Structure 1
Amino acid sequence: MREIVTSLPGQRLGGRFWLITLAAVCGVVLTLALGRWQLGRAAQKEALQAAMAKQAALPALDGNQLFAHLPQDAQRARAQVEPLLYRSVVLTGRWLPAHTVYLDNRQMQGRPGFFVCTPLQLEPGGAVVLVQRGWVPRNFEARTQLPPVQTPAGWVRIEGRLAPPPSSLLEFGHSAAAPGSSPIRQNLDLAAFRSETGLPLADWTVLQTGPASEGLLRDWPPVALGIEKHYGYALQWFGLSGLIALLYVWFQIVRRFLRPRTQPAA
């Protein structure tokens, strides 16, 4: 005859139990740390977004005021311009259309086309800044044909905001054009472009704003920092941490009270 008895908690806690406990604790600690890290990244980007909004609300700088904020040394200027990114500027200069570049596979309003970038030689001091002038659709029947873009001669006055260099897209080695071989390019590296053209280009660019003109649209999308993505990742990590803890409690503790053990009767 056999009778059913319930094993008491704490009995027969062998090496397997402690190994599972250690793995569960490590899993909970790791996922909690990753969740907190994602919250920290979200907080950093929220602070960056607030700084960008603050810069955008400040009065526009002209060329003299802009370069008064920046030292002559290029390395120091690169570091010092970062707090000024997204600040509005009003610049006067002359276009250098011979060095215009068309960045391919760029979208605006859901349509593919080109971002048109032209260096602008500024009036004070002759400094040169790359201006992201706007977007133009491409001719898909003649992919090498340049779209019509008007570039005024003489002195021009543009409005815009300071911006980092154009973002880079995935580029395969065989598709990369040799420097200077074509104005149509997938990406543009400012340092390489500076060496190619011999122009004293600044390490930052200007994103031209305002209504459509010269055949270009300027409906620039807002800068996407992906803050919601970090909150979503944090929620996933915290959820996984809770799931690990719940499964551990159920299988390693609760079921020890509920699972019957059979022992032979005396």
Structure 2
Amino acid sequence: MFSSLITSRIVATLSALLVILVGCSAGIWQLNRADQKIRLGDSLAAKLQMPVLNANTDSLTLEQAAERRILARGRFIPAEAIWLDNRPRPIPDGGAGSAGQSGFYVMMPLKLHGQDAVVWVNRGWAPRNNENRTELPPINTPDEVVAIEGVAFPHPGRVYELGQKSDTKASPRIEQNFDLALEAQSHGWKQLPFIVRESDSAKKDGLVRNWPSPTNGVDRHYAYAFQWFALALAGFLFWLINGLMKYRRELAVNGDRV
């Protein structure tokens, strides 16, 4: 039986092992991604229960502010806005809407009131004009001192990027990703070491801020993991059944009873 299953079927055996290895590895990776999202969601939920920090009065590091609620007062600098492309419309858990719609995250510096420093704010999502990529959607930006509340993050999220970053002097600046250190270097100003993702979803400024929780999509990871493990099992069963059939045929040819 060993010869029928393995020795005489080296190519089939190696192919089955490859399918099993790929399926199990991908399944485990999907489970790990689900676990990461759950842990991130638990961490964020715990930190959101902590007191609100004040960007105008507190001297904050990234470690102190990360995933904490932040209050900031200042004046936006619309001329320095960065439009992050290829961002899906944020849809909260259980919410309805066109989750696949692509658009921009609007990153805008806020000059802190009473300080010689800025904090970058992810003001929200705006839809993209599919006919003309450089035509930006209208948004409302107040020209007076405003108070915003949001959550601090190291960056607004990253997407795969090809090629070089655009000219920082171009207008409008449409980028794939946002580099906090590069912005500080190119502008030569003092800025806080984190970005603030604005939270007020009721504000009427043309932007969407229905931010999903970090655990959004966990069920999808479990579904993908099941599919990959099923593929690995199917590969093993296909190899095993065909091997047993070959073994039975050999017994029949040799005149042995099966």
TM-score using structure 1 length? 0.69
- Is the Cα contact below 8 Å between 1:96 and 1:119 reproduced in 2? yes
Equivalent residue in structure 2 for 1:183, among 169, 172, 194: 172
Partner of 1:74: none
- Is the Cα contact below 8 Å between 1:102 and 1:184 reproduced in 2? yes
- Is the Cα contact below 8 Å between 1:104 and 1:115 reproduced in 2? yes
TM-score using structure 2 length? 0.71
Unaligned runs of 5+ in 2: 90-96
Partner of 2:71: 90
Determine if the alignment matches structure 1 residue 156 to structure 2 residue 146.
yes
CA distance in 1, matches of 2:86, 2:118: 26
Determine if the alignment matches structure 1 residue 38 to structure 2 residue 30.
yes
Following superposition, the deviation at residue 143 of structure 1 comes to: 4.9
Give 4+ residue runs of structure 1 displaced > 6 Å after superposition.
10-14, 138-142
Determine if the alignment matches structure 1 residue 205 to structure 2 residue 195.
yes
Secondary structure of 2:108 counterpart = strand
Residues 254 and 137 of structure 1: CA distance in aligned 2, closer, same or farther (over 3 Å)? closer
- Is the Cα contact below 8 Å between 1:133 and 1:216 reproduced in 2? no
Equivalent residue in structure 1 for 2:247, among 238, 243, 256: 256
**Alpha carbon RMSD of aligned pairs, Å?**
3.8
Following superposition, the deviation at residue 235 of structure 1 comes to: 1.3
Determine if the alignment matches structure 1 residue 99 to structure 2 residue 80.
yes
Aligned AA (1:100): A
Secondary structure of 1:199 counterpart = coil
Partner of 1:15: 7
Secondary structure of 1:241 counterpart = helix
Percent identity of the aligned residues?
29
Equivalent residue in structure 2 for 1:217, among 183, 195, 207: 207
| Higher Cα Rg, which structure | 1
Following superposition, the deviation at residue 208 of structure 1 comes to: 1.4
CA distance in 1, matches of 2:132, 2:235: 56
Partner of 1:3: none
Aligned AA (1:197): H
Q: Deviations over 1:115-153 (max 9, x none)?
A: 333212334753321012234557778955773523233
Q: How do 1:112-131 and structure 2 match up within 5 A? A: 114-123=104-113, 126-131=116-121
Q: How do 1:235-250 and structure 2 match up within 5 A? A: 235-250=226-241
Following superposition, the deviation at residue 14 of structure 1 comes to: 8.2
Aligned AA (1:116): V
Unaligned runs of 5+ in 1: 1-8, 71-76
CA distance in 2, matches of 1:218, 1:114: 10
Aligned length, in residue pairs: 242
Aligned AA (2:41): Q
Residues 163 and 20 of structure 1: CA distance in aligned 2, closer, same or farther (over 3 Å)? same
